[in-house]
Structures are given as structure tokens and as C-alpha cells.
Amino acid sequence: LSLVLIPPVFRSCWVCFATDEDDRTAEWVRPCRCRGSTKWVHQSCLQRWVDEKQRGNSTARVACPQCNAEYLIVFPKLVLPPPPQGGIAFVAIKGAFKVYFKQQQYQRQAHRKILDFPEPEEA
């Protein structure tokens, strides 16, 4: 009978360089094909990094700087009220609707998730 020891997973964030020991409550993600030390990143660090790359355009695609895999970003469902109909108050309501829509976009952006990259299936 032989005993095989499996080393513990050592994670280090490639954005802030913190490890599991530095912040035990951080949410980790492996968003691309990278292996080894660049495989893991904090969800919050990656979201800030993606924000910098998108520069206000939340529809811009962002890829890993090492392996060029595109990050899989999922947004929560956007719930909007029905658009206002025509009439004398339409202009005022339309302006308020634009403000509301912009607020919803910011909230949606704040609650997005960057998913783990799918592992290749073993044949």
C-alpha cells in the first residue's frame, strides 16, 4: 500500500498578487486557458481589469492577455418598464426613462459575473 500526497492548490491572483492566505473569503475564477500561476484571479480584480479594458463600453469583448481566450461575461437580466406612449408629457417622461435606463445599465454592470473557462472534455 503506497500513499500518494496531492499538493494543495496554490492560487495567486495575477492582478493583485494576493494568495489564498491573504484573503480567505475572496471569490476565485479561472476565466481562460492559462495554466500554472496565471490560471487564477479574483473575480473582483478581474472585473476591475475588464472595466479598464472596456473603457465604458460594456459590450466590448475582452480577452486574456496571455492566451487570448475571450472572457465569458454574464450579466443579470435587465428589467425595464414599458416605454412611455406619445402625448404632451412624452418629452419629460422620455428624459426620466433615459435616466432610469442608464441607472439599470450601471447596476447590471456592477452585478455581472465572469465565468470559469470550460475545461476541455476528455475523450
Residue range(s) defining the domain that contains residue 34: 28-114
Query: Is 92 inside any structural domain?
Result: yes
Question: If you search the block for the grid coordinates 428624459, which residue do you land on?
Answer: 95
**What's the rounded mean pLDDT across residues 10-34?**
91
- Give pTM, 2 decimals: 0.63
Tell me the Cα Rg of the chain. Answer: 21
Q: Are 107 and 79 in contact (CB under 8 A)?
A: no
C-alpha span between 47 and 20 (Å, rounded): 18
Q: Is 6 part of any domain?
A: no
> Is residue 5 in a domain?
no
Contact 50, 58 (CB under 8 A): no
Confidence band of 46 (pLDDT split at 50, 70, 90): very high
Look at residue 93 and tell me if it is in a domain: yes
**Tens digit of pLDDT for each residue in 51-110?**
899 887 878 899 999 999 999 988 777 676 666 565 555 556 666 667 666 666 666 666
**Within-domain flag for 19:** no
Half-sphere exposure of 82 (CA within 13 A, CB side): 3
Looking at the structure of the chain, the number of domains it has is 1
- With cut-offs at 50, 70 and 90, classify the pLDDT of residue 116: confident
